[in-house]
Amino acid sequence: MLKLDLHLHSCFSNDATGSSEDLVKSLKKRGLQGMALTDHNTIKGCIPAQKIAPKDFLVIPSTEISTADGHLLAFNITENIERGLSVEETVERVIDAGGEPIVPHLFRLLSGIKKEKLKGIQTKVSAIEVFNGCSVPSTNLKSAKIARMFNLGGTGGSDSHDPLYAGYAYTVVDSTDLRIDTILSEIKKKKTWGEGLTLPLTYRRDRMVLSIRQYVQRGFKKI
């Protein structure tokens, strides 16, 4: 059984702190075997992360793309995907690039694509994020219910922007094969699920305050 944090951010996201090495150390300390580094709209942090990761720790090059409809995770991506496109077109571009599109925090106010948009891409995605460490438990339960309703698999990730909280949430993979192809295969077969702990309220509160402040500073433009 493998536990992988498939949604977290490094200093290459402008709203996060911590290096790739910090994240790897924190995750290994929590007993996890890998991560998908999903910085906002960039894969810059993935190469250094893969270089410093020990042999018994998997780094999946990934990104969190800002679509016109909300955020989309893209696993196993080696090139940046244009932001600002519809979620439908973004999913197509991720697939064309050999990546695996995953819908995170479905119901989040400013960055979730919501149920109606998911309906339009449900045949193109294998899983949605059913446990996000930064989301309140009730929305994670709603996401899990939608995953089952749409016959989709699930993933989990801390969505941490601070290495201290990396690994609070994770994806469970029923395998001991620590290779990207194997992990993606399990996701495609809808055999993975998200579990973990919700990040502390004080951290989630501070994250919300920072997000609102940065939203105003950007001229009310989404990240």
CATH number of the domain that 170 lies in?
Answer: 3.20.20.140
Please tell me the predicted confidence (pLDDT) of residue 109: 87
pLDDT per residue as tens digits for the range 112-134: 999 999 999 999 999 999 999 99
Domain, as residue range, for 70: 2-217
Query: From CA 58, how far away is CA 84, in angstroms rounded?
Result: 30
Query: Quick one: what percent of the chain has pLDDT higher than 90?
Result: 86
How many domains would you assign to the chain? Answer: 1
Within a domain: residue 74? yes
Please tell me the predicted confidence (pLDDT) of residue 212: 65
> Of 180, 211, 179, which Cα lies nearest the Cα of 71?
211
Residue 223: count of CB within 10 angstroms of its CB: 17
pLDDT per residue as tens digits for the range 78-112: 999 999 999 999 999 999 999 999 999 999 988 99
- Is pLDDT of 143 > 60? yes
pLDDT grade, residue 185 (50/70/90)?
very high
- Is pLDDT of 222 > 70? no
Query: From CA 69, how far away is CA 58, in angstroms rounded?
Result: 30
Please tell me the predicted confidence (pLDDT) of residue 215: 56
Structure tokens at 143: 């996401």
Within a domain: residue 222? no
Within a domain: residue 223? no
Query: From CA 194, how far away is CA 172, in angstroms rounded?
Result: 6
For residues 194 and 73, the answer to whether their CB atoms sit within 8 Å is no
34-37 vs 58-67, strand pairing mode: parallel
* Residue whose pair of structure tokens reads 């433009």 in the numeric block: 221
Within a domain: residue 52? yes
Within a domain: residue 87? yes
Q: Mean pLDDT over residues 195-214, rounded?
A: 79
Query: Quick one: what percent of the chain has pLDDT higher than 70?
Result: 93
- Is pLDDT of 214 > 70? no
